[in-house]
Amino acid sequence: MKKISGAELDVKVREIRKKILAARKQYEKAQSLEDDVFQVVEELLKRDSEEFLIGEFEERNLSESITEYINYGEYSVDGIIEGIYKAVKESGLTDEDA
């Protein structure tokens, strides 16, 4: 195994530090956007998004679905949107037939 010089080590450590700081900044931005999503959803529904079950078998609540999609790419954005329409209709918050 090739040994690394002190100067090379310093360069690599600075690179790692820079990437950690950039990742943290991106995480904070993503968290802020996720908070914005929940704020708009709850303003629309007039209730906590955890109260609404979605999915073919209503196996998860709207809040879980949004979080799982944002954080892990699980579920689907189309399924979430369908769930929002369903929740609005069930809540009687629209005068249209959805």
Tell me the C-alpha distance between 98 and 27, whole Å.
36
Tell me the C-alpha distance between 75 and 67, whole Å.
10
Domain ranges of the chain: 6-90
The predicted-structure confidence for 5-55, as pLDDT tens digits, reads as follows 999 999 999 999 999 999 999 999 999 999 999 999 999 988 888 888 887
Q: HSE, CB side, 13 Å, CA atoms: give it for residue 28.
A: 6
The predicted-structure confidence for 64-79, as pLDDT tens digits, reads as follows 999 999 999 988 899 9
